[in-house]
Structure 1
Amino acid sequence: MATYVIGDVQACLDPLRRLLDRCRFDPAQDRLILAGDLVARGPDSAETLRFVRRLGSVATTVLGNHDLHLLAAAQGLREARDGLEQVIGAPDAEELLDFVAHQPLAWYDASLDTLVIHAGLAPQWSLAQTLALATEAEAVLRDPRTRAEFLPQMYGNDPARWSDALSGVERLRFVINCLTRARYCTADGRFDYQEKGPPGRQPPGLLPWFAAPGRATATTRIVFGHWSALGQIEWPQYRVWGLDTGCVWGGALTALRLEDGALIQCDCHR
């Protein structure tokens, strides 16, 4: 059995199929973890969701910011564009949206000591707290009533720093922002959600979230997507792997085999 984690697909179904072929992925015995942003910007948002959904329990997608944007657009809170209209207008839209809403915000395998998220973590969060907070937010997103109440309040950059005293909407917004949008923070864990460039070009005082001093998850292997401008995949000094290699922009789609650390790629041509 092999476990493959694949970076941001963003509706690029053909590269996903080709990469799985290159990995010799066998759904009868292998596992597939997708690092979020299955939809938007690429040509096949609806078909990508259908493909992953048909894989059943062997495939898991951690939610990304574009996946959440799809849920908000379906509720009329944001414009349905960049291919999201394919999903919302599809005859099986209800099933596809329910599939998205029931995906996790974080995935962890203790035997491989590997955590998969879409974007980032607060430096104060331990592994156990990360998983607990993800579960807390997932419960809100999975219930149609609480999801409808929360999504209109999901957008916004505040609060920018974690506190265990956070509650209600502010607590949920921080958790979801961190797990699906984070790139940079200050040394004390205050997040800047505007800066998107590669490390080395950020304003003074900002660090990649994984380089924050004293990060409580420093001993856990973490795999994420979201940051196509990151500039490299493996950051061994931090035990993190960033798998968004810009497929939708004509870059590559990347898979990491967790059991032996092998990287497999296929080119993406728009």
Structure 2
Amino acid sequence: MTTYAIGDLQGCHTQLIALLEKIDAITPNAQLVFVGDIVNRGPKSLATLRQIYALRKRARIVLGNHDLNLLAVACGLRKPHNSDTLDDVLAADDREELLTWLRHQPLAIEDNGYLYVHAGVLPQWSAQQTLALSREVEAVLQGDDWPEFLKKMYGNEPALWDDKLQGADRLRCIVNALTRIRFCTPDGSMNLKAIEGADHAPEGLLPWFDLPNRKTEDCTVVFGHWSTLGLLVRLNVLGLDTGCVWGGKLTAINLQDRSTIQVDCPQHQKPGKKN
């Protein structure tokens, strides 16, 4: 079965429909994997979320930082940012059904040698460890005390992974790696402030996928999140955030032959901090 991986949607529903039409014209009923940030900053977060929910028999997603932000805003733990476009979701009659489904989605998926995450993985983690750590967060997010978890989720520390981490620090480090990472120091410590493209890395930092001895080099990591990186196609790394919401493109890649399908997108957000 042909599978397409699709980059960050961020509420760009019109472009999603156009992309799906192109995919279905080539490969009807192909499997789809969305690499997170389904909602926010684009004009139609509710329609986009409903579309992915309707496609759930043939589509899978991993959670991105904007998807987690929606959950935090929805339960009153975080105030909306000026650039958030979540009001339609929050006011929807079916919001509880959609949000319950959303918080039961994974942060990492492995299938046929591909590891899907929203942002990246720490170089210390193998694919199997990444999946196991993802499940730790998922268990809490899907449990009865999920709002308590979201209260403690935000923050940039600890930046360096240690297997001995426990409690909120451990879960926060996992979430930051899977949904926010771009650059690391050579020892694998996350820098969560730099947003430049990979060719303009701040001094002392490397893109997470270029760190030496990365333990996920034996699989292909598929990710989004990094719009200033653009489309990245390597043997064992596929970066798919091509800046849909910033006036770029929405991208899908056929994982069987590495061919790409793209849709041009109008600019819905002005250049700025792209978290």
| TM-fit CA distance, 1:57 | 2.3
Counterpart position of 1:265: 262
Work out the number of aligned pairs and report it.
Answer: 265
Cα pair 2:231 2:241 within 8 Å, conserved: no
Residue 150 (structure 2) aligns with: 151
- What is the rounded CA distance, in whole Å, between the counterparts of 1:66 and 1:20 in structure 2? 22
Look up the match of 1:123: 123
Distance 1:166 1:27 in 2: 45
Note closer, same or farther for the CA distance 1:103–1:26 as it changes in structure 2 (3 Å cut): farther
What's the counterpart of residue 183 of structure 1?
182
By how many angstroms is 1:26 displaced?
Answer: 8.8
1:138-194, CA deviations, whole angstroms, 9 ceiling, x for partnerless residues? Answer: 111112x22111111100000001110011111100001100000000111000000
Q: What SS does the corresponding residue of 1:137 show, helix, strand or coil?
A: helix
Q: What is the match of residue 69 of structure 1?
A: 69
Task: Say whether 1:164 aligns with 2:163.
Answer: yes
Partners of 2:180 and 2:192 within 8 A in 1: yes
8 Å contact kept, 2:24–2:30: no
Match of 1:196? 195
Map 1:93-112 to 2 at 5 A. 93-110=95-112
Give the letter aligned to residue 97 of structure 2. Answer: E
2:14 equivalent in structure 1: 14
AA in 2 matched with 1:160 = A
1:27 touches 1:55 (CA, 8 Å); kept in 2?
no
State the Cα deviation string for residues 8-27 of structure 1 (Å, max 9, x = none): 00000110111111112699
Give 1:253's aligned residue.
250
* Cα deviations by residue, 1:108-158 (Å, 9 ceiling, x for unpaired): 113xx1111100111000111001011111111112x22111111100000
Correspondence for 2:272 = none
Q: Is the 8 A contact 2:230 2:241 kept in 1?
A: no
Change (3 A) 1:199 1:217: same
CA contact (8 A) 2:186 2:205 kept: yes
Structure 2 gaps, min length 5: 268-275
Hey, what's the Cα distance between the residues in 2 that align with 1:164 and 1:25?
47
CA contact (8 A) 1:46 1:87 kept: yes
Secondary structure at the counterpart of residue 116 of structure 1:
strand
Letter in 2 for 1:262: S
Query: Match of 2:89?
Result: 87
Aligned-partner Cα distance in 2 for 1:6–1:28: 16
RMSD over aligned Cα atoms: 1.5
Q: Letter of the 2:95 partner, please give it.
A: A
> What amino acid maps onto 2:172 in structure 1?
R
SS at match of 1:246: coil
| One-letter identity of the residue aligned with 1:214 | N
Which of 214, 237, 241 is the matching residue for 1:240? 237
2-side partners of 1:235 and 1:116: how far apart?
15
State whether residues 62 and 107 of structure 1, in contact with CA within 8 Å, keep that contact through their aligned partners in structure 2.
yes
Paired residue for 1:50?
A: 50
TM-score, scaled relative to structure 1: 0.94
The 2-side partners of 1:28 and 1:244 are apart by: 24
Deviation at 1:202, TM superposition (A): 2.2
